């Protein structure tokens, strides 16, 4: 069974969108196997966004993701990675399809409510960054 990582970012938490994000994914038939609210440290943020290190937006990205609490989740189901990517929509809310989380709730590229893994390798890496094996339900 495929698993993926999904995070409601500080803007989504602050605006009270956690339930709406979860509801949209549950309605697609996927099963949540882990959830936690936390405040991401600078160190964890750097590991999470390591592939963007050195890019012009890296420092701003780290500053934003550590600015408030996030909700980290693991979801499971057939084709869950691609399906959640479609439910989230394009990174830029202005370019996202109508009916997607980012189009409906995002306000800018940096404040787009959610982050989700984009591949099986990224999902495994991100799940392991945020969760211990004992925190994942079968």
Q: Which residues are part of the catalytic machinery?
A: 115
What is the distance between the alpha carbons of residues 38 and 125, in angstroms, rounded to a whole number? 18
The H or E element spanning position 98 is none
| Distance from C-alpha of 129 to C-alpha of 19, rounded to nearest angstrom | 23
Q: Which helix (H) or strand (E) holds 97?
A: none
Helices and strands (H and E) in the chain: how many:
7, 4
């Amino acid at each position: 069974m495929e698993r993926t990582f999904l995070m409601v970012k500080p803007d989504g938490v602050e605006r009270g969108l956690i339930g709406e994000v979860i509801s949209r994914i549950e309605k697609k038939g996927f099963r949540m196997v882990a959830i936690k609210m936390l405040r991401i440290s600078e160190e964890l943020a750097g590991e999470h966004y390591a592939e963007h290190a050195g890019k012009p937006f890296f420092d701003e990205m780290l500053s934003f993701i550590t600015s408030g609490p996030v909700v980290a989740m693991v979801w499971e189901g057939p084709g869950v990675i691609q399906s959640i990517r479609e439910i989230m929509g394009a990174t830029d809310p202005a370019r996202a399809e109508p009916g997607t989380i980012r189009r409906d709730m995002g306000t800018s590229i940096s404040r787009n409510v959610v982050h989700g893994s984009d591949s099986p390798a990224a999902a495994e890496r991100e799940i392991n960054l945020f969760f211990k094996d004992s925190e994942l339900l079968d």
